[in-house]
Amino acid sequence: MVRAPCCEKMGLKKGPWTPEEDQTLISYIQQYGHGNWRALPKQAGLLRCGKSCRLRWTNYLRPDIKRGNFTREEEETIIKLHEMLGNRWSTIASRLPGRTDNEIKNVWHTHLKKRLQHNQANREAKRQINENSKNELKMTRNSQQFENSPQQSSSDFSSGVDSSVVTTDNFDMGIKDEYIDSSSETFPRIDENLWYTENLCMPENFKETSTEPEIQFPISTASTTFRSNTDEDMEFWYNLFVGAGEFTELPEL
């Protein structure tokens, strides 16, 4: 394949477009259209290559371009589509009227990618806290049980003689990544799907901020997922994730 000569070698201008150039291009396209991009700059009197003109028009000057910040809905659409399609910016752009692939690509690299990485790091941190709390709880309950029943041997605990006791064995092997003892009454289970941002909820008295909330409380029961803002639930989750041990008031964000 023969490569077209680059703009510089042909003495054509590069770099940012001036308002005059923009106006020239707009006027020409409004009058004659853009049937042939390669021929257009010469006919319009622009010292630019056709490719540059096309990009300038499609990414910036087109009348149906939507300028300004992306809405929350647009951002969510991009995130979802990117999850499905990967870096197919033009396909993603076709689903967002008035937005160009270039703009979407820029937004992705400058905002959305970082936000997703941040969310992922948060989820990982929470998961770690959850894991640590789980271990602490496990140890506490085991030691309490040992103190209350000094006559029992440690092998009795792990054999599951008393079904109300959470032992190392039934905790680890019974239900993975869930907070639940064999009576299934005391501890709500964590629905892993709730870690995803769209499923997280904030307590009513939490302040809405533009940044990612630091603490969020996913709640579900063994049978059904629900969202709760009751003090009891908040206290449970606050102690679980923040690890303060003593719950006094909800944190200000």
User: Which residues sit at the interface with DNA, rule CB under 7 A?
Assistant: 1-2, 4, 6-8, 13-17, 34-39, 48, 50-52, 54-56, 58-60, 69, 87-91, 101-103, 105-107, 109-111, 114
Question: Cβ 253 to DNA, closest distance in Å?
Answer: 19
Question: Cβ 5 to DNA, closest distance in Å?
Answer: 10
Cβ-based neighbour number of residue 204 at 10 Å: 8
Q: With contact defined as beta carbons under 8 Å apart, do 41 and 14 qualify?
A: no
Closer of 68 and 245 to DNA (Cβ): 68
> What DSSP character marks residue 222?
S
Q: With contact defined as beta carbons under 8 Å apart, do 221 and 228 qualify?
A: no
Q: With contact defined as beta carbons under 8 Å apart, do 47 and 8 qualify?
A: no
Closer of 11 and 245 to DNA (Cβ): 11
Question: Cβ 15 to DNA, closest distance in Å?
Answer: 5
Residues 6+ apart with CB under 8 A from 170: 160, 182
Distance of alpha carbon 253 from alpha carbon 217, whole angstroms: 14
Closer of 59 and 144 to DNA (Cβ): 59
Closer of 49 and 200 to DNA (Cβ): 49
Question: Cβ 238 to DNA, closest distance in Å?
Answer: 30
